[in-house]
Structure 1
């Protein structure tokens, strides 16, 4: 059995446009005044056809519309894409179709149209439940608009997730706890919570380099916020199934699990990455990053850059890095089948002795204390 089948097969579609660029964002997102959505639709369909010919006969488990702000896509475009997806691959009975949305772009009619087209899960970029911090984060919506958008989503879709950012400027531990409990009270079944990270090349990165961006929490306070998040969510019946993701039982993101479990995924759209196993070779794919360049390339029949083969040793490294993010960890037998010396036996012994990892049969997982310093644990384990 080819290794990717342990993780499944998904499709990621990148919509690169936003109403504005958030100062913390290093994703491939762009602001455009005019978008020819019919032209973009044709390009997506052409790319689905191209990738579909290479992966014919597979069962597709998930579809994820990411961005950017996919909730700015015309519902007719989403509908046409999903129609083409269903005619291209064999579809899993429980196909998960996620669309990312920003609260400011949510309309009841638009959401109903997405649902009618086949979207069955919404991931909403709320980011904060505090108007002052929303403004600091460059968000265009208010808390009231976020709640209204969430109510629309909840009335339309069975599965709704939203994102929050913590360790924000001047944020205290009690403030984060109050905000977290407020989020949990909204009857969500999935929360993604990310510590604010200042990336080079972003507006926040430039501001920090100039000596601005005051009030960022210390590393110790950030660690306390992470620990509090685990404690409060666990008590609320939403434990972390992955480092940054919490869900009620059965509500986990199946698409993201494909990444973490080393499955195959096709990436379509500007800057989209993918992993495809073809004729027993695993390939890393990446599409042209700039929207205009990708659009022209897709229309010419090849919306991606030249592929690179991923050797088994690198596949093992990816599985080690991604698999340990999951609560249940990874399968050592599978890891060693990819690369017999993928893990340092001395490092494994040291991490077991320190209580950073636990080994149950062939299942290796990070312990709660190990998850706090996971990068260091992975470094110690890597051969």
Structure 2
């Protein structure tokens, strides 16, 4: 019987699902911490972009890259990511969802998430997105502290963030928002206060990320110039531990390293990734993991928005590459993704994802010392990192995959 990393018994094999990801690459401005495929443009031809999304969707459906109805597969989640998808016209979202329903079967409980910024103009569109079919909003709040919002380069203030959360709660059944912590100069008490404020506004999910410096970002340049100093590692670790305790006590425990939810409030789309399910990527820079005749492949679309758009208009799709993934490579992906989850990896899902037995890829003699050190838990059906193990996951994976 599966066991969570904290020792909680769960029932059955977790659902892997089939996801559809739609990337909207445009933002009002580029945040200094962001390394996503996002771009600032003065003008966007919305009708042209809508036509391109529909053309690529149709192309992939005709190529048989979606869920296979004969195998009983169906889309379990749709995620509009970015960039800032709340800048998208709601009618574009509606058209994409209508096309997806024409091409494939969507599960009765399909989760349809749209990422949004809290700016007043975008929050005013939440109801229209709900009418288009969106049933979950993920809002990039990042902080309720005005100085922190300026530091993070956000284009909203704390009041707008609170009003956007209220608008989301009114518009859709489920919503989440993000916060970034372990910022330079942040204290334990200020984070405790900010997190308690967030919990008063939270729905069934919160994403809480420690500040990381990604290459080729504004913050990376500032760090190289000496204009930015990061919080020391031990202080970051203390804030991480505090976060886990507060969220556990509040009934939103971590189900993944940076994501917290009430039971049933987990992001179903992200679970597709973490449980090594199949997903199809639409739009500039979108990635996918698909199967062709039983062979897994990694797909990637062209990143630059204009290059993707022109290729779709010429060829019907914006694919830059499709690379076969060997069973061993797929197994390593499954370990890297699955050990992020508190539930860990179920042996049945692992074998379905890569065709290899978990015990063969990660022999018990390799995990035994890590179990003794309190970093892993293993049962006949599951392998999971403990909370301590998830805090040092990169090193843990290096040991497992050596």
Length-normalised TM-score, structure 2: 0.91
Separation (CA, whole Å) in 2 of partners of 1:143 and 1:105: 11
The secondary structure found in structure 2 opposite 1:66 is: strand
Give a deviation string over 1:139-182, Cα, whole Å, max 9, x none: 01000010011111111111010000001121011111111111
2:233 matches 1:219: yes
Deviation at 1:360, TM superposition (A): 2.2
Aligned residue for 2:11? none
Higher alpha-carbon deviation: 53-62 or 233-242: 53-62
Deviation at 1:131, TM superposition (A): 0.5
Separation (CA, whole Å) in 1 of partners of 2:260 and 2:125: 27
Separation (CA, whole Å) in 2 of partners of 1:69 and 1:6: 29
Separation (CA, whole Å) in 2 of partners of 1:253 and 1:6: 12
Deviation at 1:334, TM superposition (A): 4.9
Higher alpha-carbon deviation: 261-270 or 331-340: 331-340
Pairs within 5 Å for 1:332-351: 332=347, 334-335=349-350, 338-340=355-357, 341-351=360-370
Higher alpha-carbon deviation: 338-347 or 62-71: 338-347
Aligned residue for 1:29? 38
Aligned residue for 2:5? none
Higher alpha-carbon deviation: 181-190 or 195-204: 181-190
Give a deviation string over 1:119-140, Cα, whole Å, max 9, x none: 0000000001100110000001
Deviation at 1:15, TM superposition (A): 0.3
Q: Contact 1:347–1:382 (CA<8 Å) still a contact in 2?
A: no
Deviation at 1:352, TM superposition (A): 1.0
2:316 matches 1:316: no
Alignment partner for residue 97 of structure 1, among 112, 128, 133? 112
Pairs within 5 Å for 1:180-329: 180-214=195-229, 216-300=230-314, 301-329=316-344
Pairs within 5 Å for 1:77-156: 77-104=92-119, 106-107=121-122, 109-156=124-171
Give a deviation string over 1:211-261, Cα, whole Å, max 9, x none: 1113x2100010011111100000000000111100011111000000000
2:400 matches 1:381: yes
Q: Contact 1:169–1:217 (CA<8 Å) still a contact in 2?
A: yes
The secondary structure found in structure 2 opposite 1:26 is: coil
Alignment partner for residue 376 of structure 2, among 346, 357, 364? 357
Aligned residue for 2:20? 11
Separation (CA, whole Å) in 2 of partners of 1:108 and 1:28: 22
Higher alpha-carbon deviation: 190-199 or 54-63: 54-63
Instruction: Detail structure 1 runs of 4+ shifted over 6 Å in the superposition.
Output: none
Instruction: Give structure 1 stretches of 5+ with no counterpart.
Output: none
Deviation at 1:74, TM superposition (A): 0.6
Q: Contact 1:100–1:124 (CA<8 Å) still a contact in 2?
A: yes
- Between the two structures, name the one with larger relative contact order (CA 8 Å, sep ≥ 6): 2
Separation (CA, whole Å) in 2 of partners of 1:376 and 1:344: 18
Deviation at 1:332, TM superposition (A): 3.5
Give a deviation string over 1:253-277, Cα, whole Å, max 9, x none: 0000000000000011111110001
Separation (CA, whole Å) in 1 of partners of 2:350 and 2:172: 37
Q: Contact 2:275–2:349 (CA<8 Å) still a contact in 1?
A: no
Separation (CA, whole Å) in 2 of partners of 1:60 and 1:233: 31
Aligned residue for 1:59? 74
Q: Contact 1:71–1:105 (CA<8 Å) still a contact in 2?
A: no
Aligned residue for 2:192? 177
Length-normalised TM-score, structure 1: 0.96
Aligned residue for 1:370? 389
Separation (CA, whole Å) in 2 of partners of 1:321 and 1:338: 16
Q: Contact 2:19–2:75 (CA<8 Å) still a contact in 1?
A: yes
Call closer, same or farther: CA 1:121–1:115 in 2, change over 3 Å.
same
Call closer, same or farther: CA 1:226–1:141 in 2, change over 3 Å.
same
Deviation at 1:333, TM superposition (A): 5.3
Separation (CA, whole Å) in 2 of partners of 1:118 and 1:105: 21
Aligned length: 378
Separation (CA, whole Å) in 1 of partners of 2:265 and 2:207: 12
Higher alpha-carbon deviation: 85-94 or 6-15: 6-15
Separation (CA, whole Å) in 1 of partners of 2:240 and 2:226: 26
Deviation at 1:302, TM superposition (A): 2.3
Call closer, same or farther: CA 1:334–1:251 in 2, change over 3 Å.
closer
